[in-house]
Amino acid sequence: MDYNQIIDDLKKKNYSPVYFLEGEEPYYLDQISHFILENVLTEEEKGFNQSILYGKDLSIDAILTAAKRFPMMAERQVVVIREAQNIKNLEDLATYIENPMRSTVLVINHKYKSIDKRKRLYKALHKNGVYFESKPLYDSNIPGWITKYLKEKNLGIDPRAAQMITDFVGSDLQRIVNELEKVILSMVPGTTILPDDIEKNIGISKEFNMFEFQKALGKKDILKSNQIINYFIDNEKNNPLPVILGMLVGYFRKILIYHALENKSDRSQVAQKLGVNPYFMNDYIDAARNYNLDKAIQIISMMREYDLRSKGARGGSTENGDLLRELTFKILHI
């Protein structure tokens, strides 16, 4: 089942006796657990019928004891197991799940790991419970996710602002939501979040960020590129070199993909192939003009070399700021 279907069923009070929630992206796991804890029982029922247990020191017998209790003065009870990835012999829960208590809603949070889908537990979950796996999103999908999240809040977002947040936070959805909430508090419903709003409420510079850096490199704008790297060097804590290098590799890989496309006439299809918003296609077209296929390959190779140098693998003790200046100069003059 997908996330929206699970939440929809919960809103309709169509409860499963078991919810097994696992995966590397914890945001949706936490959202489902929170919804169950907040909505399945009334406030009066929660005192005697809602339990939260933690997996580190939890045995299968303790889970069974909790799950097999009968509710007190309520139709059902809720038992939430957190950190279930630390439970030994979790596969032994299969016996219970094959014949669960219908008056218990058992929620198992199994973060950052996956159970063996060939074994009895997984098969029992598909028969008598809800199994949900939350996979991390690719970086290219994050701006779209941000747009969708804000649409549900009756807000729009400028593509540049969505990219600023993506570049600053990465793909951690809970961190993204935390940052977005800072902006939402200052917005009027029905309006659009702009780069100015991101700078004011989150503190990401609208002029000196990775999006603007990539754009400046793509245009071979020497002055702007150097202004941005000076800002990065002065604010190294928020702009570590390994992160910058990783994002630049992703950027120039997109230029490689652009050069490899036979048909570049349909911009929306090209944008989809690159994994970018069509709004930014002019930037990539400009960059492709300035960096042909061979140059893009050379630049990616250079960045791998500078990544090794930043980690001391090539000897020497050059500061990261000097490495960034040197790399930027080579990219702009290649």
User: Domain-by-domain residue ranges, the chain?
Assistant: 3-134, 139-202, 210-332
- State the architecture of 3-134 in CATH terms: 3-Layer(aba) Sandwich (3.40)
| Residue (of 270, 145, 167) closest to 215 by Cα position | 167
> Which CATH number fits the domain 210-332, given the four candidates 3.40.50.2300, 1.20.272.10, 3.40.50.720, 2.120.10.30?
1.20.272.10
- Give the end-to-end CA distance of the chain in Å, rounded to a whole number: 50
Which tens digit of pLDDT belongs to each residue from 178-233?
999 999 999 999 999 999 999 999 988 999 999 999 999 999 999 999 999 999 99
Is 109 in contact with 81 (CB distance < 8 Å)? Answer: yes
DSSP 287-310: HHHHS-HHHHHHHHHHHHHHHHHH
C-alpha to C-alpha distance for 217 and 175, rounded to whole angstroms: 28
Which tens digit of pLDDT belongs to each residue from 99-118?
999 999 999 999 998 999 99
Q: What is the pLDDT of residue 316?
A: 58
Which tens digit of pLDDT belongs to each residue from 271-328?
999 999 999 999 999 999 999 999 999 999 999 999 888 887 766 567 899 999 999 9
Q: What is the pLDDT of residue 315?
A: 60
Which tens digit of pLDDT belongs to each residue from 21-40?
999 999 999 999 999 999 99
DSSP 240: -
pTM recorded for the entire structure: 0.81
Which tens digit of pLDDT belongs to each residue from 59-107?
999 999 999 999 999 999 999 999 999 998 999 999 999 999 999 999 9
State the fold for domain 139-202: Helicase, Ruva Protein; domain 3 (1.10.8)
